[in-house]
Amino acid sequence: MNEKLDAILKNGLEEIEKCTDLKALDEVRVRFLGKQGELTAILRNMKEIPPEERKNVGMKANTIREKLENALSEKTNKMEEEKLLADMAKEKIDITMPSKGVKKGALHPLTRFNNKFMDICVEMGFTVIQGPEIDTDYYNFEALNVPKNHPARDMQDSLYITDNILMRTQTSNMQVHAMETIKPPFKIVCPGRVYRNDDDSSHSPIFNQFEALVVDENIGLKDLMKMIDTILKRLFGEDVKMRVRPSYFPFTEPSIEIDATCQICKGKGCSLCKGSGFSEVFGAGVVNPKVLEMSGIDSKKYSGFAFGPGIDRSVMITNRIPNIKYLFRNDIRFLKQMR
């Protein structure tokens, strides 16, 4: 029995040594140490060994088992390490290869315009706030002096969710939220999406506005005009001209419409500005005292002014985009041209 055990050990170690891959190594393990293996068979049949030999044979068999196991795991480790090194050598990076080129992303033209406008406002001391795109009739209309059945509601085709809740038609809802929550004096600006039931090449059911609102003591139309003049100069350059037309919004009194030098023809007159040299940029006005009072601001002490540009049209004009839908389609061919 002793010789048989010695032979198993010698044989096993030789076989292990001969292995050249992990699969062969596993086969050796099964052959010697597996359930049907030679060593296992001896240990299983201990009963047949004379009692006086049994202890020694058992001990020797177990030692051999341990030796074979150690040899197997040593060889496995060695082979795994070799394989890893070989794989790594294969994966060597050839730094002399030409690069594939990194594709550069860019900000969406609406985001760019938005950022530019926000930067100007922040430098002028405005705080940027955001608020609900789904709001109640009260914030979108009622508290802005547009009661139910007021004809001014026809100016904005609204998308209602329930009788009382709608997609905001204007960022002016933020005027009310601001006046209710911030103590005057304050200057806020709110960029955001607005929604109207409107759909053609220059109107989309979703579009973007800003709302700027200043509430302070003794401020009025001339402060509003000065501020808009400053913003337009920062936005379009020092030589931009501004034109003011009377307008109507229920929440401002007086209400005005601001035009600026057409940025396509620089005032010479073109098809986009219909020969006038000016294009419409935004609605504005002095906050109606009734609106201040409805939101709990003392209109004897405080006054305010507001302006609310739509940005999609400006972006369309300056980038010569023929259809507003291009701004929302996420078509990479279009966006690449806007870089």
- 251-290 binders of ligand PHE (CB under 6 A): 252, 283-285
Sign of CA dihedral 80, 69, 35, 28: positive
Pairing of β 278-287 and β 303-309: antiparallel
Binding residue for ligand PHE, selected from 109, 184, 304, 308, defined by CB under 6 A = 308
Choose between 37 and 308: whose C-beta lies nearer to ligand PHE.
Answer: 308
192 near ligand PHE (CB under 6 A):
no
Number of residues this chain uses to bind ligand PHE (CB under 6 A): 10
Which runs of consecutive H residues, i.e. helices, occur in 46-136? 51-90, 109-123
Q: How far is the CB of 279 from ligand PHE (least distance, A)?
A: 16
Return d(Cα 339, Cα 336) in angstroms, integer. 6
Q: Does 173 bind ligand PHE (CB under 6 A)?
A: no
Residue nearest ligand PHE by beta-carbon distance = 308
- In the bound state with ligand PHE, the residue whose beta carbon lies nearer, of 292 and 306, is 306
**How are strands ordered across the β-sheet holding 159-160?**
134-136, 165-167, 159-160
Cβ within 8 Å of residue 267, ≥6 positions away: 241, 261, 277, 278
C-alpha atoms less than 13 angstroms from C-alpha of 166 in its C-beta half-sphere: 23
Degrees (nearest 5) of the Cα angle 152, 158, 334?
A: 120
Binding of ligand PHE by 306 (CB under 6 A): yes
User: How is residue 252 annotated by DSSP?
Assistant: E
Is residue 307 involved in binding ligand PHE (CB under 6 A)?
yes
Torsion on CA atoms 211, 215, 218, 219, rounded to nearest 10 = -10
CB nearer to ligand PHE: pick between 65 and 168:
168
Please give the residues from 199 up to 258 whose contact with ligand PHE meets the rule CB under 6 A: 249, 252
CB 33 within 8 A of CB 15: no
Q: Give rounded-to-5 percent helix, strand, coil for the chain.
A: 45, 20, 35
Compare residues 38 and 157 and give the one whose CB is closer to ligand PHE.
157
Per-residue x/- mask for ligand PHE, residues 143 to 162, rule CB under 6 A? --------------------
Per CB under 6 A, 131 contacts ligand PHE: no
C-beta closer to ligand PHE: residue 261 or 288: 288
Q: Is the peptide bond before 185 cis (omega within 30 degrees of 0)?
A: yes
Which CB sits closer to ligand PHE, 184 or 309?
Answer: 309
CB of 295 to ligand PHE, least distance (A): 15
Q: Does 140 bind ligand PHE (CB under 6 A)?
A: no
- Look up tokens 């400006």; give the residue: 314
Binding site for ligand PHE (CB under 6 A): 170, 172, 249, 252, 283-285, 306-308
